[in-house]
Amino acid sequence: MGRRHECSDSVAYRVALWNSASLCVLPRFSFACLRERLLLPYARFPEFVRSLLGAVMTEHYDVVVIGGGMVGAALGCSLGDSGLRVAIVEDSPPPPFAADQPHDLRVSAISIASASIIKTIGAWGGLISRRCCPFRRMRVWEDRGDVEFRSEDINEPLLGYIVENRVIQLALLDRLEQFSNVDVFCPVKTKSIDYRADGSTVELEDGRRIEGRLLVAADGGFSRVRQAAGMGVSAWDYRQHALVLTVETGYVQQDITWQRFLPTGPQAFLPLDGPNASLVWYHSPDEVRRLKELPDEELLPEVAAAFPRELGDVTRIVSKGSFPLKRQHALNYTKEGVALIGDAAHMIHPLAGQGVNIGLLDAAALAQVLVSAHREGKDIGAARTLQDFERMRRRNNLLMMTTMDLFYRVFGNVHLPVKLFRNIGLGLAERIAPAKKLAMKYAMGLSGELPRLARGEAILG
Residues lying near ligand FAD in the complex (CB under 6 A) = 66-72, 89-92, 108-109, 190, 218-220, 224, 242, 244, 280, 323, 342-343, 350, 353-357, 359
DSSP string, 130-199: T--EEE-EEEEE-SS-EEEEEGGGGT-S-SEEEEEHHHHHHHHHHHHTT-TTEEEE-S--EEEEE--TT-
Taking the complex as a whole, the smallest distance from the CB of residue 411 to ligand FAD amounts, in Å, to 17
Taking the complex as a whole, the smallest distance from the CB of residue 74 to ligand FAD amounts, in Å, to 8
Cβ nearer to ligand FAD, comparing 84 with 210: 210
Taking the complex as a whole, the smallest distance from the CB of residue 225 to ligand FAD amounts, in Å, to 8
Cβ nearer to ligand FAD, comparing 242 with 386: 242
Cβ nearer to ligand FAD, comparing 199 with 355: 355
Task: Give the contacts of 338 (CB within 8 A, at least 6 positions apart).
Answer: 195, 200, 214, 215, 216, 217, 225, 229, 231, 381
Least Cα distance to 171 among 110, 108, 126 occurs for 126
CA distance from start to end of the chain: 25
Taking the complex as a whole, the smallest distance from the CB of residue 76 to ligand FAD amounts, in Å, to 11
Contact present, 100 and 160 (Cβ < 8 Å): no
Helix H or strand E encompassing 321: strand 314-330
Taking the complex as a whole, the smallest distance from the CB of residue 68 to ligand FAD amounts, in Å, to 6
Q: How much of the chain is helix, strand and coil, in % rounded to 5?
A: 40, 25, 30
Cβ nearer to ligand FAD, comparing 199 with 342: 342
Looking at residue 94, the DSSP 8-state letter turns out to be P
Cβ nearer to ligand FAD, comparing 38 with 77: 77
Least Cα distance to 320 among 251, 254, 242, 249 occurs for 242
User: What are the backbone angles phi and psi of residue 247, rounded to the nearest 5°?
Assistant: -130, 160
Strand arrangement of the beta sheet that strand 107-110 belongs to = 107-110, 160-164, 133-135
Least Cα distance to 369 among 359, 381, 357 occurs for 381
Cβ nearer to ligand FAD, comparing 72 with 76: 72
Taking the complex as a whole, the smallest distance from the CB of residue 221 to ligand FAD amounts, in Å, to 6
Cβ nearer to ligand FAD, comparing 18 with 38: 18
Taking the complex as a whole, the smallest distance from the CB of residue 279 to ligand FAD amounts, in Å, to 11
